[in-house]
Structure 1
């Protein structure tokens, strides 16, 4: 009898070990091809991560240096310099540090925790956001630096540059939401590096050639990031048709963790939209963003309950759609849209986002094979397009009577090129010569910038998806998707606990089944 029990125990334990091996990350797999061994696994990704950081160190050391505001040999930076040499509060480079920290919190805590809703992917959501953000913020500094290399062959680093880098990192993190749980960390890093290069090029075209205004970067960050990620997900869906996964869903606890990200993003979004502005423009952006995001919060709750069968709130809508107003007001954040305009655009964004989660996300997954894990199309894509259209509308009705000469500070291209008209404005308001655009022309260029951002994002996203399919950055097998075990050493769990989490009923349906 004892021998029988031991034999049964041995069989049971061997089954447990087999299940553990199935859940374990693919550290190495050896495949025989024509007598040769082809090795690919986690170690290759680790070595590539070392290589990327080494390359970044070399490039930053070669191409960048401290800007004038941070150099020790500049007299005006010394605490003992005379009052005449000291900069005003408005020009103080440390003025933006509080808002820079707000954006910092949004990127690493807001985005990280917002993506913890998946039941078995919380460590990856937070940890990979931490890792990828740290890599890409350095890459963003390099991309921006290449456009600002001085006569000495180096680009100046400043606090303003760090803020711009943080904002740039938001784009690939948005794209990450579209493919969350379906890629290796190295695929996400490669995707982010390519995206930052294209993002920098697109923003340069929009700001310097089209001279389109986008104070909160709704077109350059949110629209670009969303449609880039959707394009990558489309390429993945062409190869493997998206299907429901046992781990693609939330639990009661994971939904609460995701709400931490929502609250942080909601609180700090006014800083994101106004950090790059000054004076009255910054105040308007802060006021407009708060009103818009508050309205989207209320309307999202209301519409969520309205479209549900039992008139109850849906946590997916609350986690995401409540933030849509912050995206929708971004382009026109510094414009004179009046409080009622900010509230109206926030309400429209909330309705659009909730209906997108309810009806559009399942449709694009079924018809286009685009699996959008976090629903970035509803939080960033559509509200970003709405922001671009609203910004064009506000640019089209902007007049000198409403703005005075600040009209030409907000829209530099509308400033006159005629020396006679420009003389007074240049002397008294420091306004530079513009292109003498009309309001209608400025509105047209705003819409053109929106369209170009979408086209560049989609095309470059498709190409990036193909590159990831052909790259040697590893891949996630179907049974490893949405599971932390693919990347992390997890604490030992009892078989009963694992079984309950894997086979139990889902507390929250995945995005595609809402």
Structure 2
């Protein structure tokens, strides 16, 4: 009887995975095709465009960056969230699950907005589409950090479904309608993803989770695994911010600015962490997370003429703000606003993302022909076509408007999805609540607070024991 009860409670996850994957197969069969650079007609395309070598194929420009970004998504984000002493398997395992689903749905959603060929109604994909799909998934993984250990895998998949959809819409508005520049995604990825996750966490707040506060911590080996994620993210962040920047000087400049901002953030974070610890020791939470804040904050202005010392300044202040956020702001959010932020994404992604949007707006508004040159100004901000009359001061205003759009979609979308998840919980045969042996309320299809004694995809043994007793 116990086996049947556990087996039934686990059915929603395989059902959802099978149905959604079959849906992806059908949708890809109907809509998705290779673009001209990945199709066998590339040879004809070369002749038509007078391209003399295969080296001109975008694959050779973008694939090195794609490799780095892909590692960040599956290894960097995955291992960064393994710090919880009883939820490391769930952190990296569910990261893998939602990323694998998210990139498929992102290729469709972003394709309908950006890569749709209106002559045949097909989405044409290439290497840049794969990078953008990874970026889209990054926003959902950031949101996952806010609810880590508090939601089931089915709920995570629903979060990802809505998150990718909202991301594609806000990305289109910011980049295409407003024509704001955001190469590293400070606004589009980090600000949206963080406030999307925080809003969901606020809606799903449950007082009973306070009883499991002793599990919201790390042990020595879980901190070591989390540092692996930190180091992968830190090393590859220059590729993340420069992956879709313009070929040539823009991509080169984005990598340099990110490189310097990250280096500056590390020293500042170490100084602040040691300064505010009574014994002068370092807090691993700060070292794992705040050291990355500079890469987030420099994202929007990464391809602008921010200057090397400007990048160091951005990293310096973000190291201070992020570390102080972990020390003072996170407890305030949980105690006063009832926002439980498991990974502290407000300090790593939300605040640095907003700072990045502001830095981008100021840097764009201050751009001059003297600094950029006439052609450089046109190329950097893409003042061509319908935007050929735009000037830097106006561009700065549109950059600020882009930040507001990201905030609105993140907060508004998060509240909507959080309410939807609450409705999902009420369905008896979808997700059932039970009282676990640890004394806290968790979901039968995955005991989130007792996962160290249970299994990754199934019902917790402690739940079964309490039910049988």
Shift of 1:44: 2.1
CA distance in 1, matches of 2:263, 2:432: 41
Q: Is the 8 A contact 1:242 1:371 kept in 2?
A: no
| Structure-to-structure mapping, 1:50-449, within 5 angstroms | 50-76=18-44, 84-87=50-53, 89=55, 92-147=58-113, 148-150=115-117, 151-237=119-205, 239-240=206-207, 242-245=209-212, 246-277=214-245, 278-404=247-373, 405-412=375-382, 415=383, 431-432=384-385, 434-449=387-402
CA distance in 2, matches of 1:460, 1:483: 30
Q: Which deviations, in whole Å up to 9, do the C-alpha atoms of 1:443-498 show, x marking residues without a partner? A: 111111101110111011001001111115526752633333555279x99x9xxx
Shift of 1:41: 1.7
Shift of 1:77: 7.0
Q: Is the 8 A contact 1:183 1:475 kept in 2?
A: no
CA distance in 1, matches of 2:179, 2:310: 24
CA distance in 2, matches of 1:234, 1:83: 53
CA distance in 1, matches of 2:211, 2:395: 46
From the superposition, tell whether residues 84 and 374 of structure 1 become closer, same or farther in structure 2 (CA, over 3 Å). Answer: same
Q: Is the 8 A contact 1:144 1:200 kept in 2?
A: yes
CA distance in 1, matches of 2:278, 2:42: 66
Shift of 1:262: 0.2
Residue 458 of structure 1 aligns with which residue?
A: 411
Shift of 1:280: 0.3
Shift of 1:434: 2.0
Q: Is the 8 A contact 1:94 1:159 kept in 2?
A: no
Q: Which deviations, in whole Å up to 9, do the C-alpha atoms of 1:351-373 show, x marking residues without a partner? A: 01000000000001011110000
Q: Which deviations, in whole Å up to 9, do the C-alpha atoms of 1:282-314 show, x marking residues without a partner? A: 111000000001100110010001111111100
CA distance in 2, matches of 1:25, 1:298: 55
From the superposition, tell whether residues 433 and 467 of structure 1 become closer, same or farther in structure 2 (CA, over 3 Å). Answer: closer
CA distance in 1, matches of 2:56, 2:42: 19
CA distance in 2, matches of 1:55, 1:282: 36
CA distance in 1, matches of 2:148, 2:157: 13
Aligned CA-pair RMSD: 2.4
TM-score (norm 2): 0.89
TM-score (norm 1): 0.81
CA distance in 2, matches of 1:227, 1:45: 26
Secondary structure of 1:378's match?
Answer: helix
From the superposition, tell whether residues 394 and 124 of structure 1 become closer, same or farther in structure 2 (CA, over 3 Å). Answer: same
| Structure-to-structure mapping, 1:497-512, within 5 angstroms | none
Q: Which deviations, in whole Å up to 9, do the C-alpha atoms of 1:108-153 show, x marking residues without a partner? A: 0000000000001111111111111111110000101112321111
| Structure-to-structure mapping, 1:37-56, within 5 angstroms | 41-56=9-24
Shift of 1:209: 1.1
Q: Which structure's CA Rg is the greater one?
A: 1
Pick from 10, 23, 27 the counterpart of residue 6 of structure 2: 27
Secondary structure of 1:212's match?
Answer: coil
CA distance in 2, matches of 1:470, 1:455: 23
Shift of 1:94: 2.6
Give the unaligned 5+ runs of structure 1.
Answer: 1-20, 29-39, 416-430, 496-514
CA distance in 1, matches of 2:139, 2:6: 30
Shift of 1:70: 1.3
Shift of 1:385: 0.3
From the superposition, tell whether residues 90 and 489 of structure 1 become closer, same or farther in structure 2 (CA, over 3 Å). Answer: closer
Alignment length (residue pairs): 440
From the superposition, tell whether residues 489 and 450 of structure 1 become closer, same or farther in structure 2 (CA, over 3 Å). Answer: closer
Q: Is the 8 A contact 1:111 1:129 kept in 2?
A: yes
